[in-house]
Structure 1
Amino acid sequence: MRDNKIVIITFIILVTFFTGVALGEPSKKDEPISVPEVKYSFSKLENGLEIFVFEDLNVPLVEVSLWYKVGSLDEPEGLTGISHLLEHTMFLGTETLAKDQVHNLVKKVGGYNNASTHWSYTKYYEELPATNLELGIAIEADRMGNLKINPVEFQREKEVVMQERRRSIENNPIRSAYEEIMATAFQQSPLHHQIIGWMEDIEGITVEDINAFYRQYYAPNNAVLVVSGDAEPKVVTELAKQYFGDYRPQKIDRIVPIEPDQQEERVLTIEKMIKVPYIIMIYKLPVGNHPEMTSVEFLLEILINKSVSRVNTELKQKQEILLDAGAWVSRLPISGYAQVILIPSSVDKVTEVTEGFDLELKKLIDNGITDEELQVIKKSVLKELVFAQKDLRSFKDIIIEGRLNYNDPDFYQKEIKAINDMTKEDLIQAAKKYFVQTNRTVGYILPQTN
């Protein structure tokens, strides 16, 4: 998108998967907590296009979105950033719509449109009055089959993306250091590069490269059409047949390099123009739907993220050597990672904070966790899921991500079961298995000494 916010970690505000809502005292019984199923309609065209409709008659609005199962993870060496650059290119016009015409058509009816690129998918969407449902579907169908690239406009847009990279990474001391840490942690995996790509690769991408990538992945059998809001499923399906029905499926080839097993801890020190030091730890994890990943997320809540977590209580409140901390898990359709961020109070506390974190992790493994700790977090997370369902247009993203990443739109229900079934022993087992020094990369970002 023009102002696309690439999903790169921000370190001033530590975002976590769970939000840590206080729920009061846990119940005496560890009773399963249910989360209602989200209802949706599903259909599929003969060419492979999948259609999800989340009907909500409360407001006369619709969101039409087209999700392509292609993102940064699919980029070959030398073409990093091509998914994001193609996203920009999709706004430059088609055989039937001139540059900016899509935006103007949507704006004319009081709507809004944009797009975003992620690790495993690229999403385009229009928010429209319900009476303009057909417009949104027609726009996305046109862009799927009729992209037209003007070389001059393409070069101009490439400069926009390169400037975006300069602004978001190269001129940002923390993000540029983070990029270096991730590239050290992952040797062969596509996670070696950030979603926006390496600058030299962006510079080298040609119109021919973009067209080839577009033809390979922007096909009906590699896309999901999602409509949420005031729209009847039958009407959506008929419009999809009308506008997408003639497109032919493509053979989708995916080659994901295998990341070699890490045999020892990797450590790097980077000096930047910053005032306080940062410690970033990357622990490698399995694919996102692995049954232990929910346990890993809960472990990090108890160890780091909660205000009464082990790390916060000991290092921040008691010893006062830590300014802030946070951790979360990147769950992907390939092997992912857990990320730990520690902000020491000063440079001379960096070693002390690192050792303190390792000690708190060891104490958790050796001494275990309490029933109360686990039950409070279970209730907190499940309550958040219940509240999230009230915003159907947002919750539908969870369902579609499950479909794209794990071929399972109801993956969230499996997560709910995993949460209810989780035991204290599951968390300790996950800690022993994944949170070992030979499985991590540690990056120290320090203020420049001069």
Structure 2
Amino acid sequence: MTFRIRAIAAAWMLALCPLAAHAEPAQEFMLENGMKIIVKEDHRAPTAAHMVWYRIGSMDELNGTTGVAHALEHMMFKGTTSLKPGEFSARVAALGGRENAFTSKDYTAYYQQIEKSRLEAVMALEADRMANLVFDKDEFAREIKVVMEERRLRTEDQASARVYEALNAAAFVAHPYHHPIVGWMDDLQHMTVEDAKAWHDRFYAPNNATMVVTGDVDAAQVRALAEKYFGKIPVKSIPVTRPQNEPLQQGVRRITVKAPAENPYVALAFKAPTLRDVEKDDDVHALDVLSAVLDGFDNARLPARLVRTERVANSVGASYSSNARGPVLFVLDGTPAAGTTTEQLEKLLRDEVRRVAQEGVTEEELKRVKNQLIASQIYKRDSVFGQAMEIGVMEMTGISHKQIDRIIEKLGQVTAKQVQDVAARYFNEDQLTVATLVPLPLTDRKPAAPPAGLRH
């Protein structure tokens, strides 16, 4: 049985990834307690990726407890009623596997990569900490210090991270994307073990989770194992979080960040549409293509003109990801070369988008860009773990994994006129937030060592 895909997607699958063309489609099951199970068989190597995704992230936090989703992620490795702190990781290592976790604005996920015969063992471990996590006050006190040091290391000591934290806080005034995933330092300093426990008690339930298993597995056996280890975990009444919709922006917002850095930097963030309906949201697919036109391959417009030809920037970029539970941004950014100011580079970046809006793109350029973009989507499937990630992100952001191939088709159908239209529609000042880094002198202080217990 092959993927039910049509036209361009099928052609690309065969041309670029022949092995994937013979893979089985993902199968989906639902346990009686509401836990979704998605299994994607791929028998090219005797390995498997096992992931449990919770549809809860930093966007669901309340003021005063920002960072609690990430803090709980750390506590998930600190023991259950049957495991000592650190024993979860030790057991996975003893099985020859790798494991970790990550928290985003939209979700929290836990994973193990293992030899296929070890799947049952890691599934039992994951079910245990969903149902039987222990919250020790002393363990939490130690771990929240690790989280605070992680914030210092990855945000406060990194100029670019400080810029993007400030950028999000300015771009989103009402929506909880305003807050950093790691949390504000003051909230971390006042966080308690009860906060973490309440988060787990409220949201960590089978009916708020999706298991994704990919690799050399049998879907029926995975379903049976899921029933065995997760099926007995009781349903919880999951609170419905309020939308906190972002009000309409009226006028450009500007912020300045001063931090030790070698070079100035500027980032322009434009409000852009989120993918909600694969069939109807044509602007989303056109913006994906526009992002690739600007910065999707070696000879894309931004680096070709501003870095290599005019040499007014040391680096430039464009980024856009439409998969999210909340609002998204289309970002243009760059580091100016000597003799160029951030104000000048800001104008030059916007000029490139205006050029597309006014002149469009040629059919040859469009074809080349779409080839690159679609190929990058398909190459991700070379990895068993990459397949699990793709499925999980789609599901957590409200798009069925069954639509993955249709998105590739839609990208292939984007026209030059659609690219020109979105370049004209979404890049005005009423949707723009600009963050500028003003570099301060670098100190002679050596970077701090990563905190003990830092997981990802």
Structure 1 position 227, deviation (Å): 1.9
Provide the residue aligned with 1:239 in structure 2: 225
Farther-moved stretch of structure 1 (82-91 vs 340-349): 340-349
- Whether 1:400 and 2:360 are equivalent positions in the alignment is no
How far is the alpha carbon of 1:33 from its aligned partner?
Answer: 4.7
Give 2:364's aligned residue: 372
Aligned residue for 2:50, secondary structure, equals: strand
5+ residue gaps in structure 1?
1-30
Q: Distance in 1 between matches of 2:307 and 2:190?
A: 47
User: Of 71, 93, 99, which residue of structure 1 is paired with 2:57?
Assistant: 71
Query: Which residue in 2 is equivalent to 1:291?
Result: 282
**Structure 1, 401-410 or 320-329: larger mean CA deviation:** 401-410
Match for residue 15 of structure 1? none
Write the distance in 1 (CA, Å) between the matches of 2:383 and 2:441.
Answer: 49
The separation in 2 between residues aligned to 1:304 and 1:59, in whole angstroms, is 34
Alignment equivalent of 1:93, drawn from 57, 69, 79:
79
Match of 2:317 in 1: 326
Q: Is the CA contact (8 Å cut-off) linking 2:268 and 2:434 kept in structure 1?
A: yes
* Distance in 2, Cα, partners of 1:399 & 1:449: 44
What is the distance in 1 between the residues matched to 2:255 and 2:392?
37
Aligned AA for 1:265?
A: V
Change (3 A) 1:306 1:156: same
Q: Any idea what the Cα deviations from partners look like across 1:174-203, whole Å, max 9, x if unmatched?
A: 211321122111111122122111111112
- Aligned partner of 2:187 in structure 1 is 201
Query: 131, 139, 143: which one pairs with 2:129?
Result: 143
- Hey, what does 1:316 align to over in structure 2? 307
Task: Provide Cα deviations, 1:337-378, integer angstroms capped at 9, x if missing partner.
Answer: 111111101364322222222222222211111001111111
Residue 129 of structure 1: aligned partner: 115
SS in 2 for 1:280: strand
Tell me whether 251-260 or 370-379 shows the greater mean CA deviation: 251-260
Greater Cα offset, 192-201 or 383-392: 383-392
CA distance in 1, matches of 2:181, 2:69: 8
Go from structure 1 to structure 2 and tell me whether the alpha carbon gap of 1:411 and 1:203 turns closer, same or farther (over 3 Å shift): farther
Taking the aligned partners of 2:350 and 2:221, their CA distance within structure 1 comes to 57
Report what 2:408 is aligned to. 416
- Between the aligned partners of 2:9 and 2:299, the Cα distance in structure 1 is 23
Give the TM-score taking structure 2 as reference length. Answer: 0.87
For residues 305 and 244 of structure 2, the distance between their equivalents in structure 1, rounded to whole angstroms, comes to 40
Residue in 2 that maps onto 1:264: 251
Deviations 1:262-306, CA, capped at 9 Å, x for gaps: 100011222222221101111112223343122112112223444
Go from structure 1 to structure 2 and tell me whether the alpha carbon gap of 1:449 and 1:151 turns closer, same or farther (over 3 Å shift): closer
Alpha-carbon distance change, 230 to 358 in structure 1, aligned in 2, over 3 angstroms: closer
CA contact (8 A) 1:277 1:346 kept: no
In structure 2, runs of 5+ residues without a counterpart are 1-6, 14-20, 443-456
Instruction: Output the amino acid matched with 2:407.
Output: E
Structure 1 CA distance for aligned equivalents of residues 93 and 297 of structure 2: 43
Secondary structure, in 3 states, of the residue corresponding to 1:95? coil
Structure 2 CA distance, aligned partners of 1:348 and 1:60? 53
Matched, 1:110 2:96: yes
C-alpha separation in 2, matches of 1:228 and 1:381:
24
Matched, 1:39 2:25: yes
**CA distance in structure 1 between the partners assigned to 2:32 and 2:253 by the alignment:** 49
What pairs with 1:316-395 in structure 2 (closer than 5 Å)?
A: 316-331=307-322, 332-346=324-338, 348-395=340-387
Q: Offset of 1:430 from its aligned partner?
A: 1.1
The range that moved more, 138-147 or 425-434, is 425-434
- C-alpha distance in structure 1 between counterparts of 2:338 and 2:77, whole Å: 46
SS in 1 for 2:155: helix
Task: Please state how far the C-alpha of 1:429 moved relative to its aligned partner.
Answer: 1.6
Residues 112, 127 of structure 1: 8 Å contact kept:
yes
- For 2:379 and 2:297, locate their aligned partners in 1 and report how far apart those are by CA, in whole Å: 19
8 Å Cα contact 2:288-2:320 kept in structure 1: yes
2:91 & 2:305 partners in 1: Cα distance?
A: 56
Residue 304 and residue 449 in structure 1: after superposition, are their counterparts in 2 closer, same or farther (change >3 A)? Answer: same
Over residues 66-100 of structure 1, what are the superposed CA-to-partner deviations in whole Å (9 max), with x where a residue is unaligned?
Answer: 11111112112221111110000011101111111
Q: Counterpart of 2:432 in structure 1: which amino acid?
A: R
How many residue pairs end up in the alignment? Answer: 420
Q: Which residue of 2 aligns with 1:25?
A: none
**What is the alpha-carbon distance in structure 2 between the residues aligned to residue 170 and residue 66 of structure 1?**
30
The answer for the alignment partner of 1:4 in structure 2 is none
Q: How many angstroms apart in 2 are the aligned matches of 1:108 and 1:312? A: 46
- Report SS of the residue matched to 1:295: helix
Q: CA deviation at 1:243?
A: 1.4
Change (3 A) 1:268 1:138: same
**Residues 1:218 and 1:291: Cα distance change in structure 2 (over 3 Å):** farther
Distance 2:299 2:372 in 1: 14
For residues 42 and 309 of structure 2, what CA distance do their matches in structure 1 show? 50
1:427 aligns with 2:419: yes
Cα 1:345–1:136 change in 2 (3 A) is same
The answer as to whether partners of 1:276 and 1:346 remain within 8 angstroms in 2 is no
Residue range with higher mean Cα deviation, 190-199 or 358-367 = 358-367
Residues in 2 aligned to 1:82 and 1:152: alpha-carbon distance in whole angstroms: 17
Structure 1 partner of 2:298: 307
* 1:52 to partner: Cα distance: 1.4
Report which stretch shifted further, 289-298 or 279-288: 289-298
- Aligned to 1:149, the other structure's residue is in SS state coil
TM-score (norm 1): 0.88
Q: Does structure 2 conserve the Cα–Cα contact (< 8 Å) formed by 1:114 and 1:125?
A: yes
Distance in 1, matches of 2:350 and 2:215, equals 48
How far off its partner does 1:449 sit? 8.1
- Name the % identity: 30
1:282 maps onto 2:274 in alignment = no
Q: Secondary structure at the match of 2:214?
A: strand
Which residue does 1:10 correspond to in 2? none
The amino acid of 1:279's aligned partner reads V
Code of the residue aligned with 1:161 in structure 2: it is: V
